[in-house]
Amino acid sequence: MNKIKTDLLVIGAGSGGLSVAAGAVQMGADVTLLEGHKMGGDCLNFGCVPSKALIASGKAAWGQSHAQKYGVADVTPKVDYAAAKDHVADVIAEIEPNDSVERFESLGVRVITEYGEFISPTEVKAGDNVITARRIVISTGSSPLVPPIPGLDAVPFETNETLFELREQPDHLLIIGGGPIGLEMAQAHRRLGIKVTVIEGLKALGKDDPEMAAVVLENLRGEGIEIEEDALAQEIRGKAGAIEVETKDGRVFKGTHLLMAVGRKPNIDKLNLEAAGIERSRTGIKVDAGMRTTNKKVYAIGDVAGGLQFTHVAGYHAGLIIRNAVLGLPAKERTDHIPWATYTDPELAQVGLTEAQAREKHGDKLEVARFHFNHNDRAIAERKTAGLIKVMVVKGRPVGASIAGYQAGELINLWALVIANKLKMSAVANMVAPYPTVGELNKRAAGAYFSPRLFENPTVKRVVRFVQRWLP
């Protein structure tokens, strides 16, 4: 058995773990990194990267068949589903070297391609190695949740971990789950010429602002995607190429392929947390505001910590760990400034409080500034006018922003900056945006907040009349 002593042991080479390892080793720490599956984790191999690549394929096909409004003749695209998956693989391969064993070893990280298992509060076994570390970071991420629906174990199905390997084009894809993953993949496949039915037990995009979700769902249905809500899957039956999903209310949906997209579960089964005195929470590993577990030498970050499940959150957590575990400086997690986006067309993005959350928390102190995409000249030129932006404001400071529309995932960045730094609406109003850009929507939303104060205020009108009489 090979014994290793290290300053920092990172278990899991997803986005969070890689960021911790790279930052710590470049600051002079001795770092050991464990990964028993694929470097880059879920995001690179099965999540963010491949899904956005397939969405790009769908967008290209959709553009060919819907060009008439731009003065270009519509054509029927010739979709090669296997070639679209080649595109996905090529995108992964282009990004992969940045997350590779070779790169991290070149930085000075000791990389061990084995799963890690705690054998004591300070020791982890990985293959033939026993590693003793001053500090340990668990960043093992999450996996697709496969619920115990009767019959599912006898029917072939896909998850996000297998979907991108599928080469045979489905004729009719059934998707159980109407959240971001389910709907992104629904639209990508529909645009590639595949019939799609989404089966959602509650409400599609149920965690988002209902007004914003409605903008997205209306467009998805308009593209021919069947979205069935309040449809809790009760039984699944059939075989490859002929699958049926029966819901609790007796509805039956038939398709050729099935994708399960109902949520995620933390990757903790292999860790033997009990040996390290690490407690679990309902959603993952129990951590405090500094991402420290009940074992004070061990931290947990990203999906496995049971909070917001986004790649950029894991990256944010990595920064906290660099401060806490590497530099010994205090740092606590905050979530009010964390944005997220769903990459449908139109996109859906959120940071901070939704309108309903803000009303519940702030009551009559809340003001909501609204601005619609159909008043933005660039959106009009691009024929992308469906959507709106809402900014929740309390005493002049934004506490949340919701955007549904073209490039919402880009537009939300500004509001994330504003909320993270506790800036006022005046900071956005003072910004000069180039014309014509979609980014002007943010400034116009700020203008919508100030307009009543300027144009509907009798005192302002009296002052202006006085100044006009006496101005030389």
182 marked as binding residue? yes
CA distance 175 to 154: 17
CA distance 158 to 240: 11
Q: Side chain identity at 240, as an amino acid letter?
A: A
Q: Return left, alpha or beta for 193; rule: phi > 0 is left, psi -120 to 50 is alpha, else beta.
A: left
222 marked as binding residue? no
H or E element in which residue 173 lies: strand 172-176
458 marked as binding residue? no
Name the residue among 14, 12, 47 with its Cα closest to residue 32. 12
116 marked as binding residue? yes
By the 8 A CB rule, do 197 and 284 touch?
Answer: no
178 marked as binding residue? yes
52 marked as binding residue? yes
Q: SS3 for 220? A: helix
DSSP 158: B
402 marked as binding residue? no
Q: How many residues does the chain have?
A: 472
Measured from the Cβ of residue 29, the count of other Cβ atoms closer than 10 Å reads 21
Q: SS3 for 281? A: coil
By the 8 A CB rule, do 149 and 236 touch?
Answer: yes
140 marked as binding residue? yes
71 marked as binding residue? no
241 marked as binding residue? no
Q: What share of residues in the chain are helix, strand, coil (percent, to 5)?
A: 40, 25, 35
Q: Enumerate the known binding-site residues.
A: 52, 116, 140-142, 177-184, 200, 263, 303
Q: Enumerate the known binding-site residues for NAD(+).
A: 177-184, 200, 263
Q: Enumerate the known binding-site residues for FAD.
A: 52, 116, 140-142, 303
